[in-house]
Amino acid sequence: MRRIEPLDWQRGLLAFAIMIYHLTGWHYRHPDAATVLGRLGIYGVTMFFVLSGLSMALVYSNFILDGRTSIAFFVRRIFRIWPLLWVAVTVATAGGVLLNDNYIDWSLILLNLTTLFGFVSPGAYVNTGAWSIGNEMVYYALTPALIWIYNRRIAYGNLVFAATAVIGAYFAFYALSSEAILAAQWNTYINPFNRALGAVDGKEFNTPPYLARASDTGGISDGNYLVFVFHTGLVGVAGSAGFSADYCDIRIGELVDQA
């Protein structure tokens, strides 16, 4: 299908905001979580996962049909992620050994080179920020099953969405506390299940009435794209931890189409 440029713009703006967030924290002071920049820095990654879920559904909904195509999907994802990650892990490890005389933990290196840390120990990443790659690999592993479920029957997909909303609520209102600083809850925060709602949420937007059928309009409709932008904003900026107002706006797409 044709490239949907508004999604690229949104991804680019999010990347820019997160870059500014980190630069501000490294060179000046850490942005307060109550500020717009602070919220974008914390929840911008969750918004990325929503975009990723939608992108995977758009590209692969009609591709992943059986075991063979599922394996082809995994191979594509691995060759997209692993090569640059290997370079980053090698550089970081070599730098630690040469500059700080660090001990090489080969089991940690293996977990990172295979991205298995995302499945077994999300906090065991070598490169700063690589936890998000571990999260993404978990979602990639689940993508064929999610696409099969949504293609089988949308109602089944909605049940999965509801289940991830419950999991998100658990992290937002129980596992994570607003009374403690994020650093003290970091391993809980980077747990891939904390953002499972975002990844499934993107796939939810690839089902009618949220997404105009490609055969009719060639891609996502303007009205629904605006809803999607607003929606990901809620997930990222107004969300608490991994949960958001998804349960409130799940039918907004229908209202836009009817209007």
Q: Per-residue pLDDT for 233 more than 80?
A: no
Lowest mean pLDDT among 59-73, 136-150, 169-183: 169-183
- What is the H or E stretch that residue 52 is in? helix 36-60
Q: Which of the residue ranges 20-29, 50-59, 119-128 has the most confident prediction, judged by mean pLDDT? A: 119-128
User: Where would I find the beta strands (DSSP E) of the chain?
Assistant: none
Please count the residues of the chain. Answer: 259
User: So what's the pLDDT on residue 211?
Assistant: 45
78-101 average pLDDT score? 95
pTM: 0.79
Q: How far apart are CA 179 and CA 248, in angstroms?
A: 26
Measured in degrees and rounded to the nearest 5, phi and psi for residue 77 equal: -65, -40
Q: How far apart are CA 170 and CA 46, in angstroms?
A: 16
User: So what's the pLDDT on residue 130?
Assistant: 95
Percent of the chain with pLDDT over 70: 76
Q: Per-residue pLDDT for 244 more than 60?
A: no
User: So what's the pLDDT on residue 27?
Assistant: 86
Q: In degrees, to the nearest 5, what angle opens at C-alpha 173 toward C-alphas 23 and 162? A: 100
165-218 pLDDT per residue, tens = 899 889 988 999 888 888 899 999 999 999 887 777 666 666 554 444 333 434
Q: How far apart are CA 143 and CA 103, in angstroms?
A: 37
Confidence of residue 227 (pLDDT cuts 50, 70, 90): very low
Mean pLDDT of the chain: 79
User: So what's the pLDDT on residue 258?
Assistant: 33
Lowest mean pLDDT among 76-85, 143-152, 243-252: 243-252
Q: How far apart are CA 224 and CA 257, in angstroms?
A: 8
Name residues whose C-beta falls within 8 Å of residue 146's C-beta, 6 or more positions apart in sequence.
157, 160, 200, 203
Q: Identify the residue with better confidence: 26 or 97.
A: 97
127-132 average pLDDT score? 92
User: So what's the pLDDT on residue 186?
Assistant: 92
Q: How far apart are CA 81 and CA 125, in angstroms?
A: 14
Residue 196: C-alpha distances to residues 52, 159, 161, 224 (Å): 12, 14, 9, 22
User: So what's the pLDDT on residue 253?
Assistant: 31
Q: Which of the residue ranges 53-62, 163-172, 199-208, 239-248 has the most confident prediction, judged by mean pLDDT? A: 163-172
Q: Where are the domains of the chain?
A: 5-258
Name residues whose C-beta falls within 8 Å of residue 164's C-beta, 6 or more positions apart in sequence.
196, 197, 199, 200, 201
Q: Per-residue pLDDT for 226 more than 70?
A: no
